[in-house]
Amino acid sequence: MKKRTKAFLTGVVLAALVLACFAKTPTLSGKMVAYDLLSHAAKDGSFVANKEIIILETPSQKTKYVKVVFVGYGTTQLDRKYFDGTLPLTVKALRDRACDEKYPKTVSQYSLNQASGIYLLTDAFKSSPLPRIKNLACYDAIEKK
């Protein structure tokens, strides 16, 4: 390759990397509506990553409900105070289209014969069940406040 072509390609790659580093990470904020009880209860204190999967109600008109996945090596990925659905949660998250869900199922009481992937409503939302959600956009949490 010519020196000029190498220099141009190197400049393009560096510019792309710099732009990616300064890209703004989306911030989601809202109240926790529901959570996956099985992933919440089945946490192991070993070297295996644990998950916490929640549905967050956002004030956005475009996407009212979003799925947020927290991953960590401890047994607590999310503070217990958010699980009643009254306190707002703010989280920086990246969009992950691989874990989007169509028609997620929520219940107000969990029974032993229900399969995984069913979300238990928080106390604040048990009296007013959610409307049917057609598509639940998924985000991977990277930082919570």
Domain boundaries, the chain: 26-144
Q: Which residues make beta-bridge pairs with 92?
A: 27, 143
In terms of Cα–Cα distance, which of 91, 71, 90, 80 is closest to 123?
80
Q: What is the pLDDT of residue 139?
A: 93
Residues in the chain: 145
Q: Are 122 and 72 in contact (CB under 8 A)?
A: no
pLDDT tens, per residue, the chain with 145 residues: 677 777 666 766 666 665 555 556 788 899 999 988 877 767 666 777 888 899 999 987 678 899 999 988 877 778 889 888 899 999 999 999 999 999 898 888 877 776 667 888 998 888 887 888 888 999 999 876 5
Q: What is the pLDDT of residue 31?
A: 92
Q: What is the pLDDT of residue 117?
A: 75
Q: What is the pLDDT of residue 1?
A: 60
Cα separation, 113 vs 132, in Å, equals: 22
What pTM did the predictor assign? 0.76
Q: Could you give the C-alpha distances from 141 to 53, 54, 96, in angstroms and in order?
A: 10, 11, 10
Q: What is the pLDDT of residue 129?
A: 76
Per-residue three-class SS string for the chain? CCHHHHHHHHHHHHHHHHHHHCCCCCEEEEEEEEEEHHHHHCCCCCCCCEEEEEEEECCCCCCCEEEEEEEECCCCCCCHHHHHCCCEEEEEEEECHHHCEECCEEECCCCCCCCCCEEEECHHHCCCCCCCCCEEEEEEEEEEC
Q: Which residues make beta-bridge pairs with 69?
A: 53, 140
Q: What is the pLDDT of residue 10?
A: 76
Q: What is the pLDDT of residue 13?
A: 67
Q: What is the pLDDT of residue 17?
A: 60
